[in-house]
Structure formats: C-alpha cells, structure tokens
Amino acid sequence: MKITKEEIPYSQEEEILLRLHQITPQIAAFLEKIQSKDYQILASSKDNRFLWLKKEDIYYFDSVDDKVFLYAKKEVYSVKKKLYELEEELPSSFLRSSKAQIVNLDKIERFAPAFSGRFQAWLDNGEKIIISRQYVPELKKKLGLSKEEEK
C-alpha cells in the first residue's frame, strides 16, 4: 500500500483521501476514530508516529518557537494546529492559561495564588503551571468563583 503525506498551509482545509479496493474492518475502525468526537487531536511523537489522543488524556498544550506541543501524563507530542485553533475546538474543560498555554482543568489537583495576581496550578501528574493574571477571571468564572455569578 502506498502512503503519501503532504504538508499544506494552515489557510487550506485539511483532507484525507482514501483510494481503496475495499474498506477492511481496520480501515473502517480508523475512519470511525477520525470522525469520532473523542479522537479529535492528531499528534506526532518524536519517532514521527501519528496517533489520535482522547481529550481526557491531554494535560496541556504549550507553544514554543511557533510550534505547539501536547503534554500527556508522561509523554510530549507535536501538534500541527495553532493554539487559537485548538482553543476554538476544545471543550469548556480547557482554559487558556497564558498566551502560550492551554490547560485541561480536569487534570488540576489544586490551585494557589502566586505573585502579581497570577495563580499556580498543580496537575495530577506532578507538574506545576502558572495561570497568568489576564486569564484568572476566566478561571474563576469556570470554577463558579467569580463575583458576577454571585449576583
């Protein structure tokens, strides 16, 4: 079987074209995963393997030097999408925590105030991240702690 990959600009819509003699059960399962809401994040590992990750397995996304990385419990993957694209499609359990980061609120064990209005968050895999003061109001709103919701 011949496999052809082509990187395209972000301005073009991504597509998958399969030209097959028949759809095998394995290919049908692959197509189901692609179309499933549980498997929306396509990531690549260090050894250039591509895999689908469930959103509940994602701890956070981090942007470094115009590259976006997905952090799972113990692994780090590369993602082709930009943070703003991910932010649009991720469920409400994800929060922009800084200009370069999006965190899964379901993976946070505890919070604590930090300097200059920021918050620290400890994830259940032992990592610690900072939530910028610009995004603290949204965090409080999602947690039901904002003063607007008390009125």
pLDDT for the residue 150: 47
Strands (E), 25-151: 41-44, 50-53, 60-64, 67-71, 76-79, 94-98, 101-104, 108-113, 119-123, 128-131
Distance CA 72, CA 91 (A): 17
**Percent of the chain whose pLDDT exceeds 90:** 32
| Reported confidence tier of residue 35, pLDDT bands at 50, 70, 90 | low
- pLDDT average, residue stretch 24-28: 86
Q: Measure the CA–CA gap between 68 and 86, rounded to whole angstroms.
A: 10
Q: DSSP per residue over 37-49, as a string?
A: GGG-EEEE-TT--
Task: Give the mean pLDDT of 8-13.
Answer: 72
Q: What is the mean pLDDT of the chain?
A: 84
Largest CA distance in the chain: 62
Task: Enter the DSSP assignment of 133.
Answer: G
Residue 39 has pLDDT above 50, yes or no: no
pLDDT tens figures, 45-74: 777 777 778 888 899 999 999 899 999 998
- The pLDDT value recorded for residue 140 is 85
pLDDT of residue 151: 47
Percentages helix, strand, coil for the chain, rounded to the nearest 5?
A: 30, 30, 40
Q: Which of 8-12, 33-37, 39-43, 127-131 has the highest mean pLDDT?
A: 127-131
Tens of pLDDT, residues 114-128: 888 899 999 999 999
pLDDT band at residue 36 under the 50/70/90 scheme:
low
Structure tokens at 48: 């250039």
